[in-house]
Amino acid sequence: MTSTESTREKIVETARALWMEKGFEQATMRELARRMNMGVSSLYFYFKSKEEIVHFLYAEINRKTIDNFRLVDDGDKSLTQNFSKYMSTKISLLKPHKSAFIALMKEAVDPNSAVSPLSSDSDTTRSINQALLEELVIRAGSIAKQHCGNVARLLWFLNLAVLLYWMHDKSSDSANTFELIDKVSKFVGVLPVLTRMPGADTTFQWMNQLIQTKESQKSAAASLQVTELAAKNVDVIVLGGGPLACVYSCFVKMQRPATKILIIERHSDPGHKIGESTLSGFCKALKTIGIHPEAMRTLFYPKNGLGFLSVDRNLQSIVESEEYILETFDETYQVERRALDSLLLANARRMGIEVLQGAVADVKSSTFSDHGNAINYTIGNREYQARAPLVVDASGPAGLLAREFGLWNADGLPFQTSAGWTYFRSVRPLASLNWPHRAMFPRDQYTQHLCLREGWLWYIPIVSWQQSPNSNFTRGLDACLGSPRSIPSRTQLSEDFGCPYENIVSIGLVLRSDRDRWLKDDVREAFEHYKRKYPAIRQLLDGAEQIEDHYQTGQTFMQRLAFRGCARRVAGDGWLLIGDAAFFVDPLISPGLTGGTATAYRAALTTVNALEQHRFDGDVFAGYESFVHELRNALERDNQLVYMSFNHPQAIALVQRLQEIDARRHFHENAKADYGLADTNVWGILSPSYQEMQRQAWEIMHQNEQQLSDVPIDEQTMKDYQPMVTQLKSLLDNYLESNRDLTPYFKVNSEVKIAR
């Protein structure tokens, strides 16, 4: 026996004792770890949850039962004798575990429990048992071949009945149980007759439906939802089940509770997506729709602003870089998308919104008009249809309607960008380095941008729940949607619901297509190239362990190429586009969820107005159309400003201070509890005075880049961009100095410098 096997057996023995003492429900993984004298994280290396320990116990007893039965099996064809031997062998093996199984009984009889012998989680052990029983049925030779599997399954049910009796049996040495085995075994002898009785097939079919295999469970869930949804009309159909689909739907439901909303999501379960950084607007929206900050703190890593570190080839240490930090306005988070999307879908269902997962919309065969829409979709190989006067596309980068209608446009940009990313553990915390400037929070609690002339590298710490089983995690998320006082801490969620987590770091390169030639060909090689080129990146990743295929996508390095673009129209007769389906700017300064939330709220107001007027023609959506284009253009200019500022470290600070002043002022002016119309002016970006300075700064920086467009990027120097910095200072200095109180990092560190 290996040391791992020995440890697993000791854990099982200790768990059995704990269940007998405290009951299965009250026993926690933390208590089990304490009794094993090991850390909780070490325990999770062997078992991910209490339920997994139970299934290990099931499998071990099952294996030993079959092995011991084989030892006494003499080839007898009698089904009566063989079933008796099988059950007697099992009861004898179970005898030392009786108290533990009694403790499990309350949990096991719950049809929704993962430890129920009828559950899909018990599928493997159950199948092995039934395979042996079917072998014995076939050996008997008295039952038609087409009935052998059904009879074996009936024998398995009889086995459950005997086990249930045994748990209640108080007779000496379970004598009554062995007598019952004898009587049941004699009944087994008449099963061939029962298979020939009228209605036997129907009875077997009814019996088989009690068992949840993984496939039958999915099929049953899909059939139930389809039966309920396909036959009825709704008010709004939402394509896509991501965060903005849920936020939009909840906004509509809050403003017009009677609205019937159907979300059609192609994936059966949320999985990995990029988009891990949130800002105050999105987090404010989550509070508005009922997701408490306590839940976000449990699930996600804190994010307290944005850090910008100017990196060049001559910089040997990251702490030597010129730094600017845009400190937090409000409590925000670094998120793992599986967890965030699952939380929002659960919240949407709680608010009465119907969510159909595992359904693929076929927009090509669907019909759209201001008189009503018919959306065709499939689940498995079956086709269905849902009808609504309004369809909202929240399908994100897929852009289902924009691409189907030929509206997606990526032209007219001064440069495109692409991204490649991967994940690491054991990254040296930035807080452990000796930083020369003051910040409100540890450097790891900011989304860090390592600014290169080619683009930037992101550094985002994440709490990863990837190893948490779906059933366990779903129950944990339900607990996170309770009252604030009842929401478990991260440790409690992990221990009480069997949800292991780990701290990892997401690191990605976002590079300008006009300045980078590596990313489009080979993401891994692009990482290696920029590590070689920039010592600060090497220092950041020194000693870190790259996680191979952390999200089971089949890829360790992931990429999205040339992703900037927008739909030429975002509304039409009977349809609207929101979020990334309407436009995508760039991950830089995290505008996706924040700008997307603004489109979701505006779309919700437009939806309620259209439903009340019973009008769904394009003219009703004209105001929404105008807003989305104005917001996208302003966000695009803001992002281009930041990219062009990477040409010179002083430009980074000037641009960040400009953007921070109006953003912080706007936040303070609208720091109310609920998300509202004023919040759709993202960071105050639509303010005419801000837009005027934004345009002037953009023109200065763009002209400087154009003048150097014939100079290879590796031959450009900071001196080449000094005229740009001089012009920016002339434009912005008075404004920045008069509003220095709205830039706390600059104010604090300027005062420290003066004091020195």
Span 96-122, pLDDT tens digits? 888 888 877 777 777 667 777 777 667
Mean pLDDT of 642-653: 97
Q: Please, what is the Cα angle at 117 between 114 and 118, to 5 degrees?
A: 85
Torsion, Cα 231 237 241 246, to 10 degrees, reads -120
pLDDT at 567 over 60: yes
Adjacent-strand bridge partners of 354: 262
Backbone φ, ψ for residue 507 (5° rounding): -130, 125
pLDDT at 88 over 50: yes
d(CA 256, CA 464): 36
Share of the chain above pLDDT 90, in %: 62
d(CA 228, CA 92): 48
d(CA 145, CA 291): 56
Mean pLDDT of 247-251: 98
Give the torsion sign (CA, 430, 433, 439, 441).
positive
Span 685-697, pLDDT tens digits? 999 999 999 999 9
Contact of 477 with 340, CB cutoff 8 Å: no
Tokens of 431: 């807080």
Span 402-434, pLDDT tens digits? 999 999 998 889 999 999 999 999 999 999 999
pLDDT at 454 over 50: yes
What is the chain's mean pLDDT, rounded? 89
Please tell me the predicted confidence (pLDDT) of residue 198: 60
Total number of residues shown for the chain: 756
Tokens of 159: 């086995």
pLDDT at 469 over 90: no
CB-based contacts of 57, cutoff 8 Å, min separation 6: 12, 16, 97, 100
Please tell me the predicted confidence (pLDDT) of residue 216: 44
Span 319-354, pLDDT tens digits? 999 999 999 999 999 999 999 999 999 999 999 999
Q: Please, what is the Cα angle at 461 between 460 and 466, to 5 degrees?
A: 115
d(CA 172, CA 181): 15
Span 587-636, pLDDT tens digits? 987 778 999 999 999 999 999 999 999 999 989 999 999 999 999 999 99
Q: How far, in Å, are 10, 272, 334, 612 from residue 305 at the CA level?
A: 46, 24, 11, 40
d(CA 21, CA 659): 60
| Closest by Cα among 129, 250, 160, 169 to 601 | 250
Adjacent-strand bridge partners of 356: 264
Contact of 29 with 40, CB cutoff 8 Å: yes
Torsion, Cα 750 752 755 756, to 10 degrees, reads -110
pLDDT at 756 over 50: no
Contact of 500 with 492, CB cutoff 8 Å: no
Of 27-31, 121-125, 272-276, 675-679, the range with the lowest mean pLDDT is 121-125
Q: Identify the band that residue 163 occupies on the pLDDT scale cut at 50, 70 and 90.
A: confident
Q: Identify the band that residue 202 occupies on the pLDDT scale cut at 50, 70 and 90.
A: low
pLDDT at 184 over 70: yes
Adjacent-strand bridge partners of 469: none
Domains of the chain, start order: 49-212 (1.10.357.10), 214-300+335-412+565-616 (3.50.50.60), 303-328+414-465+501-563 (3.30.9.100), 648-756 (no CATH)
CB atoms within 10 A of CB 502: 15
Residue that the structure tokens 């269940």 belong to = 19
Question: If DSSP codes are grouped into helix, strand and coil, which group holds residue 460?
Answer: strand
**In the chain, what is the straight-line distance between the N-terminal and C-terminal CA atoms, in Å?**
66
Of 81-85, 238-242, 402-406, 587-591, the range with the lowest mean pLDDT is 587-591
Contact of 564 with 397, CB cutoff 8 Å: no
Adjacent-strand bridge partners of 424: 505, 546
Amino acid at 569: R
Q: How far, in Å, are 104, 335, 621 from residue 461 at the CA level?
A: 38, 9, 40
Mean pLDDT of 679-707: 96
Q: Please, what is the Cα angle at 332 between 327 and 337, to 5 degrees?
A: 135
- Which range is most confident: 10-14, 227-231, 360-364? 360-364
Please tell me the predicted confidence (pLDDT) of residue 222: 47
Ramachandran bin of 574, using left for φ above 0, alpha for ψ from -120 to 50, beta for the remaining angles? left
Please tell me the predicted confidence (pLDDT) of residue 217: 45
Please tell me the predicted confidence (pLDDT) of residue 94: 85
Please tell me the predicted confidence (pLDDT) of residue 208: 53
Parallel, antiparallel or unpaired: strands 261-265 and 236-239: parallel
pLDDT at 228 over 50: no
- Better pLDDT: 153 or 384: 384
CB-based contacts of 522, cutoff 8 Å, min separation 6: none
d(CA 39, CA 152): 43
Tokens of 172: 């000496």
Please tell me the predicted confidence (pLDDT) of residue 531: 95
Q: Identify the band that residue 195 occupies on the pLDDT scale cut at 50, 70 and 90.
A: low
Q: Please, what is the Cα angle at 249 between 248 and 255, to 5 degrees?
A: 90
Tokens of 289: 């729709």
Question: If DSSP codes are grouped into helix, strand and coil, which group holds residue 20?
Answer: helix
Residue that the structure tokens 């710490």 belong to = 461
- Is the whole-model pTM more than 0.85? no
d(CA 713, CA 511): 13
Mean pLDDT of 128-140: 82
